[in-house]
Amino acid sequence: MREKDEAGRFVKTLTEEDVLSVFEEVESPFIAKPDVVERFDTSINTVGDRLEDLETAGKVASRVPGRDRIYWLTE
């Protein structure tokens, strides 16, 4: 069961910093959602949410060159 805070909202278990750390671990200038899923015990939807947050904040950019969306650091 997912953890909730005092207000009853679900607590983020995968942080933006967790996702950013994957860029340092892979041997590529970009990542895809499965790269993050493999490293953390979380769903692909959660990974997508964190990557979307990072993209909105301007920390990563993305495009879909084929079947999967890829992400890269903008900073």
Domain of residue 29, CATH code: 1.10.10.10
Q: Are 14 and 42 in contact (CB under 8 A)?
A: yes
In whole angstroms, how far apart are CA 40 and each of 21, 51, 61? 11, 14, 21
Supply 19's token pair: 């996702």
Q: Is residue 42 part of a domain?
A: yes
- Rounded CA separation 73/75 (Å): 6
- pLDDT under 70: residue ranges of the chain: 1-5, 9-12
pLDDT at 2: 58
- Full domain range(s) for residue 38: 16-73
pLDDT at 41: 82
pLDDT at 12: 66
pLDDT at 10: 65
Q: Is residue 30 part of a domain?
A: yes
Q: Is residue 41 part of a domain?
A: yes
pLDDT at 4: 67
